[in-house]
Amino acid sequence: MKIFKKIIGFLLLLLVIAQFFQPEKNQGEITTVDPFITETKPNDVVHKILKTACFDCHSNSTRYPWYSNIMPVNYWLADHINHGKEELNFSEWATYSLKRKEHKMEEVWEEVEKGKMPLDSYTWTHADARLTKEEVEQVINWAKSVQNDYKTQLGN
């Protein structure tokens, strides 16, 4: 029993020490998405949806919840955000080619239509990111419209 208590104590000590080592946070300026907003012209409702349901994981500016400083949750969040930004980063929109923008807008409406975005793991703790059927339709219609504009520019 003494060995068990020592092991538990050691593990707790490691957990406390680990709290002092944090992954790098994604805390750039939210204004980095301005070129995307200017170019794609979402209406006010869609803009709000993007801000509350998309930008935390798909831009260079994340609003972190209180639990983001707790190890190992902080590493899981950092990995999740990095993966999201690899797939689509609205802060980097101006660097995307026209063809890539067209494809990314297709992915936006497809993922939202299939219910894959926003992720369930995100909406569990961010109630404002849970989309109604009407909001889903608005995002899909906007994204399809933007995609079609890009297709026209590409000559497709």
> Percentage of the chain surpassing pLDDT 90?
68
State how many domains the chain has: 1
Structure tokens, 106: 């297709």
Q: Give bridge partners of residue 61 from the DSSP assignment.
A: 27
Structure tokens, 25: 């946070």
Residue range 64-73, pLDDT digits in tens: 888 888 888 8
Pick from 139, 93, 81: nearest CA to 114: 139
pLDDT surpasses 90 at 96: yes
**pTM of the predicted protein model:** 0.84
Q: Which pLDDT value is given to residue 156?
A: 74
Output the CA angle 88-133-81, nearest 5 degrees: 25
The Cα–Cα gap between 31 and 59 comes to 10
The Cα–Cα gap between 139 and 77 comes to 25
Structure tokens, 30: 């939210």
Range of 87's domain? 1-155
Pick from 90, 87, 85: nearest CA to 35: 90
